[in-house]
Amino acid sequence: MKNRPFLLTRRQCVLAGAAASLVGAGPALAATLPVPTSLPDTLAAALKKGSPLVVMVSLVGCPFCVIARDNYLAPMQGQAGLSIVQLDMRNRQLVQDFSGTSQTQDELIRRWGVKVAPTLLFFGRGGVEVAERMVGGYIPDFYGAYLDDRLRTARAAVAG
């Protein structure tokens, strides 16, 4: 049987997050990742270090987002020049997209066609995705391996 990601819709993430907060595992315990105000500037800084820009799309209250962020992404932040930022579904905070247009995080995420949290996107020169997206909460035993694979692909694309 092929390993498939466990996918959650926005509504399921909200419900799961609400349930998690009832048992003390809510978003207040989560690690944080930087929230960009300008994707072109953030990407330029990442490329200057020879790194792709990793964007985590999350949803407040999503327990799988907390796992991805706390156990994988936050510990990797800054390692070997890796640049990781976070955008949130339903967030009305403005961010400048790769074309220089300001829009809300939620609008940008919808424009990218992201419908599941967490989703990881890997960007290279020109704001082009350079590796396959990681969509959903993969089986925990394999999430790190999937992430490492995507990072290898994205780093090779940025270096090439």
Collapsed DSSP state (helix, strand, coil) of residue 94: strand
DSSP annotation of 6 reads B
Check: CB of residue 69 under 8 Å from CB of residue 86: yes
List the chain pLDDT tens, one digit each, 160 residues. 444 444 444 444 444 444 443 334 444 444 689 999 999 999 999 999 999 999 999 999 999 999 999 989 998 886 767 999 999 999 999 999 999 999 999 999 999 999 999 999 999 999 999 999 999 986 677 899 999 999 999 999 999 8
Enter the pTM of the model. Answer: 0.80
Cα–Cα distance, 93 to 103 (Å, whole number): 8
Cα–Cα distance, 25 to 92 (Å, whole number): 25
Q: Looking at residue 114, what is its pLDDT? A: 97
| CA-closest candidate to residue 34, choices 104, 95, 86 | 86
What is the CA 62 to chain-centroid distance, rounded?
Answer: 13
Q: Looking at residue 18, what is its pLDDT? A: 40
The structural domains of the chain, with segments of one domain joined by +, span 37-159
Q: What angle do CA 43, 48, 53 make, to 5 degrees?
A: 30
Q: Looking at residue 81, what is its pLDDT? A: 76
Exposed, middle or buried by CB within 10 Å (0-12, 13-18, 19+), for 4? exposed
- Domain 37-159: state its class: alpha beta
Q: Looking at residue 32, what is its pLDDT? A: 85
Q: Looking at residue 31, what is its pLDDT? A: 67
